Chain A
Amino acid sequence: MVKREGGMATIEISCVEVWSEISNYLDEEISPEMRERMEAHFKACAHCTAVLDGTRNVVGLVGDGRVFQMPDGFSKRLYKKLQKLP
């Protein structure tokens, strides 16, 4: 199906197609045409928008430096080990 918005034609895509490209969408690893189609889909599909937002949220959380906290004294023990090297 072709949808026209402001003179631009956008070929609609299914939810399954959108899900298969969510990760590439976040990484900007898709063509401008696919991006446009996905964005048109997100405007109309609450579920896919929730999947996108949730995935983006998760990527942000795991990439936050606070998730993996080093144990207390980690650096000290590491440098102590290095000092022992001949």
Chain B
Amino acid sequence: MELSNFGSLGLAKQHHTDLSATMSMTQSQLRTNEAELIKSVCGGQREAFYELLRPYERMIYATAISVVKNPADAEEVAQEAVLKAFSNLSGFRAESKFSTWLVQITYNEARMKLRKARPHLYESIDDQQEDDKGDFWPKDYADWRPIPSELLEQKEIRQAVQDAINSLNSSYREVLLLRDVQHLSIKETSTVLGISEPSVKTRLHRARLLLRDRLAPGIDGSWIKGQPYRKARAW
């Protein structure tokens, strides 16, 4: 069973997302509504495109920044992706979700930007063969206390989470982004990235555990095994 698609986990995450308006609709209502808007745009009503796009602005930006890692570049990528989506809207086929289509375009734009800006780096990233085999041993911290989501209101906590995501190798980061940030299903993630579903699962697993390892001690540096906990957190 796919947990994290817009229809299931999306509904559970209704708060704090730009999709809240669309979340109150069922999947089929959402699709019908989007299909009508797409028809209007293709019929010449440009304003309908704004309405179609608005729930996904943050998703587009998040996709872009997680690949290019820089706010200015991410904004440029987002703009290019949106212009491309507008120009190619008549080619959109309803077999995929509009949101997935948008993510795919943004992801391709972001990678293209990276390739242009840093061809050597891109090449080395692209050629990386991840060792998806073998056991992964999560670090044993002396203690673990959950980081309450309310703390994301604080800029430094948001930054810490972003930094932890950015510190992941690109192949892990991309899977994590599509699956856990954009809530694409495993199948959709596999389609966007052009990798198999088992590879998505393996990389996602690594990404999540690595992120835990990096975030657990990373926010205040107090979780060090063998040492007493230094209270540095506000909670």
Contact of B18 among A28, A29, A65, A82 (CB under 8 A): A65
Count, A-B residue pairs, CB within 8 A: 137
Give the distance to chain B from A16, nearest Cβ to Cβ, in Å: 5
Kindly specify which of A2-10, A36-44, A50-58 makes contact with the partner chain.
A50-58
Interface 1/0s, chain A 50-82, versus B by CB < 8 A? Answer: 110111011111111111111100110111011
Q: Which residues of A contact B216 (CB under 8 A)?
A: 54
**Inter-subunit contact B209/A55 (CB<8 Å):** yes
Query: With an 8 A cutoff between CB atoms, is A85 at the interface?
Result: yes
In the complex, what distance in Å separates the CA atom of A58 from the CA atom of B161? 9
Give the distance to chain B from A77, nearest Cβ to Cβ, in Å: 7
Total chain B interface residues with beta-carbon distance under 8 A: 57
Contact of A74 among B3, B57, B147 (CB under 8 A): B57
Query: With an 8 A cutoff between CB atoms, is B16 at the interface?
Result: yes
Binding site for A on B (CB under 8 A): 1-4, 9, 13, 16-19, 46, 49-50, 54, 57-58, 61-62, 65-66, 71, 75, 78-79, 82-83, 86, 135-138, 140-141, 144, 146-147, 149, 152-153, 158, 161-162, 165, 176, 180-181, 183, 186, 201, 204-205, 208-209, 211-212, 215-216
Other than A54-B141, A78-B78, A82-B50, give 20 A-B pairs with Cβ distance below 8 A: A16-B135, A16-B137, A19-B136, A26-B208, A27-B186, A27-B204, A29-B1, A55-B208, A55-B212, A57-B146, A57-B212, A61-B152, A62-B165, A62-B176, A63-B183, A67-B181, A68-B66, A70-B57, A82-B49, A82-B83
Contact of A70 among B3, B61, B138 (CB under 8 A): B61
Binding site for B on A (CB under 8 A): 16, 19-20, 22-24, 26-29, 47, 50-51, 53-55, 57-71, 74-75, 77-79, 81-82, 85
In the complex, what distance in Å separates the CA atom of A54 from the CA atom of B58? 26
Q: Which residues of A contact B16 (CB under 8 A)?
A: 64-66
**Inter-subunit contact A62/B147 (CB<8 Å):** no
Q: Which of B18, B83, B208 neighbours the largest number of chain A CB atoms within 10 Å of its CB? A: B208
In the complex, what distance in Å separates the CA atom of A59 from the CA atom of B212? 9
Give the distance to chain B from A26, nearest Cβ to Cβ, in Å: 8
Give the distance to chain B from A71, nearest Cβ to Cβ, in Å: 6
Give the distance to chain B from A56, nearest Cβ to Cβ, in Å: 8
**Inter-subunit contact B152/A66 (CB<8 Å):** yes
In the complex, what distance in Å separates the CA atom of A51 from the CA atom of B71? 32
**Inter-subunit contact B186/A65 (CB<8 Å):** no
**Inter-subunit contact B3/A27 (CB<8 Å):** yes
**Inter-subunit contact A51/B152 (CB<8 Å):** no
Q: Which residues of B contact A69 (CB under 8 A)?
A: 158
In the complex, what distance in Å separates the CA atom of A71 from the CA atom of B46? 24
Q: Which residue of A lies closest to B49 (CB)?
A: A82
Q: Which residue of A lies closest to B138 (CB)?
A: A51
In the complex, what distance in Å separates the CA atom of A19 from the CA atom of B204? 13
